[in-house]
Amino acid sequence: MAVGLWDEINVAQRHSRWVIAIRFYGFIDMKLWFVDDKRDNHETWSNSFPEPLKASCELRSFYSVSELIDECAEGNVPDIMFLDFFIGEGLGIEVIKWFKNKVNCPVLIAHSSMKEANVGMVREGADFYLEKIKNKPHTESIRNAFKSVDDLTHIVQNRSMREGP
């Protein structure tokens, strides 16, 4: 998670190394990734976030499991990842299994239009699911869950959505 607008810098020497601690204030820049083989779903996903979140987050799309795994194997991992069940030749469950027992695992959100697929991905290790409805300009479940940076922070820290309104 990257942050910006620093306000305070502390420098200390510990065990012959200089340690620089920077306290940041302001926006939080999180990586939100979406994995789905259908181009229309990528636009719908992006349209589901409010503009202030889109401006302060990295929204990135992948069209195949292999493309995503290659990127993650290089050490580039998002804070939150949305996974469709069917992803071209691959499955969202393959991604979930790849992240099992990895130290740097993003919040994995099952995001299929089939409830059974979402439930199956949660059973395999996804943190939770948000329903995807086809042929809409945006996804209401995402709009309701991701209204502010505080919502993102809560989801990353707790690996769950906020309860209540």
Q: How does residue 107 score in pLDDT terms, banded at 50, 70 and 90?
A: very high
Residue 165 neighbours by CB under 8 Å, 6+ apart? none
- What is the per-residue pLDDT for 6? 37
In a domain, 10, yes or no: no
In a domain, 23, yes or no: no
Q: Are 147 and 50 in contact (CB under 8 A)?
A: yes
Could you list the residue range(s) of the whole structural domain that residue 97 is in? Answer: 29-158
pLDDT at residue 24 is higher than 60: no
b/e burial code for range 46-57 (CB count within 10 A of at least 16 → b): bebbeeebeebb
In a domain, 11, yes or no: no
pTM assigned to the model: 0.82
Q: How does residue 164 score in pLDDT terms, banded at 50, 70 and 90?
A: low
- What is the per-residue pLDDT for 26? 45
Query: Which residue did the predictor score with more confidence, 90 or 22?
Result: 90
Q: How many domains does the chain have?
A: 1
Residue 111: give its domain's CATH number: 3.40.50.2300
Q: Across-strand partners of 58? A: 31
pLDDT at residue 17 is higher than 60: no
